[in-house]
Structure 1
Amino acid sequence: MLRASLWTTKGVRKDAQFIVTLEGPPNPPLTLYFDGKSLDCDLRTEIDAIKCIRKCMLGLSKGCTRTRDSFEFVLKNLKMPIIFLKEGGEDVTSLKYFKTLAFVIGPQHDIDLPSDVRPSQVISIGKKSYLASHVISYINFYLDLKSNRIKIIK
């Protein structure tokens, strides 16, 4: 998911951030904030991404910070529209395009948002279930297309 969010063939995507909250043992929560503008990691391969995550978890990576923020805290402090990706949501083409958006996606299944967090929109990229990393890649492609950063040649 980190690679799908921040890596392009030209290097780290400078216009994106990736935030992940790890809630499993031994000491949850652990939230990692990766900022594409200043991230000093190579993300060319999955092994590179694992090394970057490990460095961030140890507090050794520029462009990445770690906190004990909960998932709920992260959502409540985003200060931007939240787009919830969920199977059965509105078609992605109905996305109300904002300059800055936060997309929330679960790693293997739909996740439950805290009851007091209201998404601006609930969208889906299709009727089938896809890997979270593929959904992120598709969303990046779609946003790049909508913002005219890429052109489709027919």
Structure 2
Amino acid sequence: MSMNTRTGTGFTHIDPALYAKAFELLDPAPEPIAPAAAASAAPAPVPVTLAAPPVRLTGAVEKTLTDALTFLDTHGWAKHRLIHPEGARCSIGALRAAAGTRNNAYRDAGNLLLDEARQQHGKQWESIPSWNDSHTGAQVRSVWEAAIRRAHHMNI
């Protein structure tokens, strides 16, 4: 049994220049417009920004403070001890957990946190643990959040 094989395609020949013109209509190449011609054109065009806005990098201090507060939210907040048996920590313990080591970000975050604590609760606080142990969770959280905002605005 033989198969009927058509050799003729039945397609009409298309001029390649016609394809080129069709693609040009679909995706016209941008043509520079002279400033004078643009000024005389209809209403001023709205500029379109294709580039994404620059990504703002989080500073080491802001990251340390944010990570420490997240740690407190996750594991719990404690008074009178660095680490509670169930895993909760005081403010300084959370800072240590977030920083990993006592690096510059740890020290700067601690100084900013203590400064914010003194602004909100009085200049008598000499250390984060003494302040932490003398205030409620809501008061402590308010200081953490304010310190994070300051670090963000200071871009540190």
- Which band: TM-score by shorter chain? under 0.3
Please tell me whether Structure 1 or Structure 2 has the larger radius of gyration of its CA atoms: 2
Q: TM (normalized to structure 1)?
A: 0.26
The answer to which structure has the higher strand fraction is: 1
TM-score (norm 2): 0.26
Determine which structure has the larger helix proportion and give its number.
2
